Every structure is written in C-alpha cells, then in structure tokens.
Amino acid sequence: SSELTQDPAVSVALGQTVRITCQGDSLRSYYTSWYQQKPGQAPVLVIYGENNRPSGIPDRFSGSSSGNTASLTITGAQAEDEADYYCNSRDSSGNHYVFGTGTKVTVL
C-alpha cells in the first residue's frame, strides 16, 4: 500500500476551482511533484518543487504544501483537465520514491 494517500475521486464544475490533496508523513521533509494522466497516455509532469510549472503547463495549475499535506489546485478547471492525478515524493525512510494512490478528476 502507498504511503501517500489521495482522495479517489473529485468533481468540479467547468470554470470552478478544485483542490487535490496528498497526505503522508514524508511530505514534512520532501517536496511533492504532481502528474496528470489521461486514458491511454503516459503521465505528464504539471507541478514540481515549491510551486513550479514545466513549460507548456497552464498557470491555472498551482501547488502548495503544509505539514504532511501537499495540494494541487486547478483554478478555473477546463474540460481538458479531466484526468487522473498522482502525487510523487519519497517514502517515510526518505530512501525510495513513492506515488500517491491517485485522484480521478471529473469536470462537470
């Protein structure tokens, strides 16, 4: 079982804001990165480090962290944001990478 826990599914109305969370003790010490995965495709990095977006990722995606919880926020969700989202960081030992359980985002 994963050491990083995410809500299985969330929904958001078109144009509204949704926050996806990732919880784990290791997040107090290590940064989290976030990945978007659409059906049949490889994951795509959307947020990394303190709150960095790779080139080409819209600025409606943002990241934050507090204590043992990291968050990915989509401000003004678009239809194309409907996807699975995974967080990634270290495990509690700090020695290994680990993915969160994943959150399916539905845009209504």
Does position 58 interact with another protein (CB under 8 A)? The reply is: no
- CB nearer another protein, residue 16 or residue 29: 29
Does position 36 interact with another protein (CB under 8 A)? The reply is: no
Does position 31 interact with another protein (CB under 8 A)? The reply is: yes
Does position 62 interact with another protein (CB under 8 A)? The reply is: no
Contact set for another protein, span 79-108 (CB under 8 A) = 86, 88, 90, 95-102
The token duo for 58 is: 């819209």
Helix (H, G, I), strand (E, B) or coil at 40: coil
Interface residue with another protein among 48, 57, 62, 75 (CB under 8 A) is 48
The token duo for 74 is: 């989509």
The helix/strand count (H/E) of the chain reads as 0, 10
Helix (H, G, I), strand (E, B) or coil at 88: strand
The token duo for 77 is: 């969700």
